[in-house]
Amino acid sequence: MIKIESLTKFYIHKKVRNDVLKDVNLSIKEGEMIAVMGRSGVGKSTLLNIIAGLEKPSSGYYTFRNVDLSKSKYKELTSFRRENVGIILQAQALIDEKNSI
């Protein structure tokens, strides 16, 4: 189960804070399928990157199977991804020069 509570993610660029996700609450049960939809720039990719352990939230809580990952170190998140996450990229990620037969 994935549980997200009061999750916020912001970036600071040139001393200006840009809130990408604000106070997000979400619960996904084991085996449940969801779709994340919205217009460009609303934080869909950021949310999915946090769920996949690629980014850390600025504040709030993210638990996976009752383990709080929101404060995990990057090394712990690497183990989490290796054991629990599969990622399919939208754009081709292979290098063309390395992909020829």
Give the tens place of pLDDT for each residue, 58-84: 999 999 999 899 888 888 989 999 999
Q: Give the integer Cα–Cα distance in Å for 101 and 98.
A: 9
Banded pLDDT at 93 (limits 50, 70, 90):
low
The domain limits of the chain are 2-98
Cβ neighbours for 11, distance < 8 A, ≥ 6 positions apart: 17, 18, 20
Neighbours of 52 (CB within 10 A): 15
Q: 20-41: per-residue pLDDT in tens?
A: 999 999 999 999 999 999 999 8
Report the predicted TM-score, pTM, of the whole model to 2 decimal places: 0.80
Give me the pLDDT at residue 48, please: 92
Residue 70's pLDDT is 87
Strand, helix or coil at 80? helix
Tell me yes or no: is domain 2-98 CATH 3.30.300.30.
Answer: no
Residue type for position 37:
M
Q: Give how far the C-alpha of residue 66 lies from the chain's centroid of Cα atoms, to the nearest Å.
A: 17
Cβ of 62: how many Cβ atoms within 10 Å?
23
Percent of the chain with pLDDT over 90: 62
